[in-house]
């Protein structure tokens, strides 16, 4: 791999910020640039670097793909408005669900369902419409490593898969934090003035809840896993883990409700201790905490009859299910 990681102990935060701000300014010249903000720490850091470099010549878009957490677009818009950054929300729900319809294979879901729609259809048009030639995005070192190693195709990896974005989509992609892993990105975020609730946020994948639905990601199945995510995130908010999530399984199982057979959905809860997502171990959560999550999910979400907890390390498990 040609990209050289900047290790945490070698990171000079202020020098890094100055270097990236200059690189963004140089690449954009007098043009506008477009920026993809998902609300995670990586894209949040890139947004502030880009804003420092270009001010209002940077157009920051949040793509409402229908796959995000509850209330996410409004939450991110408000956080960034407080930082002086205007975020434009683009409603692309129908485009994403149309591309995901009928797709069950994980890699196809990532490529056809997410990558193509995101870069070609949605950003292709946004970049063209405002006459920009550069897209900024928050790819980090772990994303590259996993894709190159063939673990899974991270939605935001292009050049390393041989994709020439200028040819394929009509714009250059700039990745200011590609040499950093998550702990380093968080430090840069803090130095840039991001609020703590953003720079300490647990990671959330670009393809969002589509990576947490095994099988077809329909609007209904995404809504179900979104409700479970809200419960898991609320119950585990203070547990100190690296990342925690809910997954909707494809198979249904027989359950029992009100004395009658109920053939219903299964939710799997995962909670990870990890430094940088390359390896991970399941968090040793108190059993009572797990029981409470199961009770809430099965009483608050209609049709769920089973909740399990993943006790497998990564590897051989992965953090996400898809």
Which residues lie near ligand XMP (CB under 6 A)? 143, 146, 151-152, 154-156, 203, 205-207, 211, 243, 277, 314, 318-320
Q: Pick the closer one to ligand XMP by CB: 73 or 207.
A: 207
Q: Pick the closer one to ligand XMP by CB: 39 or 203.
A: 203
Q: Pick the closer one to ligand XMP by CB: 113 or 264.
A: 113
Cβ of residue 246: shortest distance to ligand XMP, in angstroms?
13
Cβ of residue 71: shortest distance to ligand XMP, in angstroms?
20
Q: Pick the closer one to ligand XMP by CB: 189 or 264.
A: 189
Report the C-alpha gap between 69 and 303 in whole angstroms. 20
Q: How far is CA 169 from CA 73, 115, 127, in A?
A: 25, 11, 9
Q: Pick the closer one to ligand XMP by CB: 130 or 148.
A: 148
Q: Pick the closer one to ligand XMP by CB: 69 or 252.
A: 69
Q: Pick the closer one to ligand XMP by CB: 28 or 319.
A: 319
* Cβ pair 300, 227 in contact under 8 A: yes
Cβ of residue 257: shortest distance to ligand XMP, in angstroms?
32
Report the C-alpha gap between 49 and 78 in whole angstroms. 18
Cβ of residue 277: shortest distance to ligand XMP, in angstroms?
4
Cβ of residue 42: shortest distance to ligand XMP, in angstroms?
7
Cβ of residue 287: shortest distance to ligand XMP, in angstroms?
25
Cβ of residue 80: shortest distance to ligand XMP, in angstroms?
19
């Amino acid at each position: 791999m040609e990209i050289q990681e900047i290790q945490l102990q070698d990171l000079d935060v202020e020098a890094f910020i100055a270097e990236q701000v200059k690189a963004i300014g140089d690449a954009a010249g007098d043009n506008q640039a477009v920026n993809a903000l998902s609300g995670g720490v990586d894209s949040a850091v890139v947004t502030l670097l880009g804003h420092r470099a270009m001010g209002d010549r940077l157009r920051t878009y949040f793509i409402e793909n229908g796959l995000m957490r509850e209330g996410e677009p409004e939450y991110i818009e408000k956080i960034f408005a407080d930082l002086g950054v205007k975020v434009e929300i683009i409603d692309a729900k129908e485009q994403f669900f149309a591309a995901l319809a009928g797709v069950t294979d994980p890699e196809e879901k990532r490529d056809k369902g997410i990558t193509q729609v995101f870069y070609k259809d949605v950003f292709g048009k946004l970049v063209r419409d405002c006459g920009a030639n550069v897209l900024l995005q928050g790819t980090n070192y772990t994303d590259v490593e996993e894709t190159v190693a063939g673990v899974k195709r991270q939605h935001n990896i292009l050049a390393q898969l041989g994709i020439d974005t200028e040819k394929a989509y009509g714009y250059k992609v700039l990745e200011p934090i590609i040499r950093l892993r998550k702990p380093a990105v968080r430090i840069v975020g803090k130095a840039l003035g991001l609020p703590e609730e953003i720079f300490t946020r647990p990671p959330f994948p670009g393809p969002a809840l589509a990576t947490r639905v095994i099988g077809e990601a329909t609007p209904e199945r995404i809504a179900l896993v979104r409700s479970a995510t809200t419960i898991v995130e609320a119950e585990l908010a203070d547990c100190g883990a690296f990342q925690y999530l809910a997954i909707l399984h494809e198979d249904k199982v027989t359950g029992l409700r009100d004395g009658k057979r109920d053939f219903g959905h299964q939710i799997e809860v995962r909670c990870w201790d990890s430094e940088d997502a390359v390896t991970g171990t399941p968090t040793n959560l108190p059993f009572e905490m797990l029981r409470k999550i199961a009770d809430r999910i099965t009483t608050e979400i209609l049709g769920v009859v089973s909740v399990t907890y993943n006790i497998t390390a990564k590897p051989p498990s992965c953090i996400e299910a898809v």
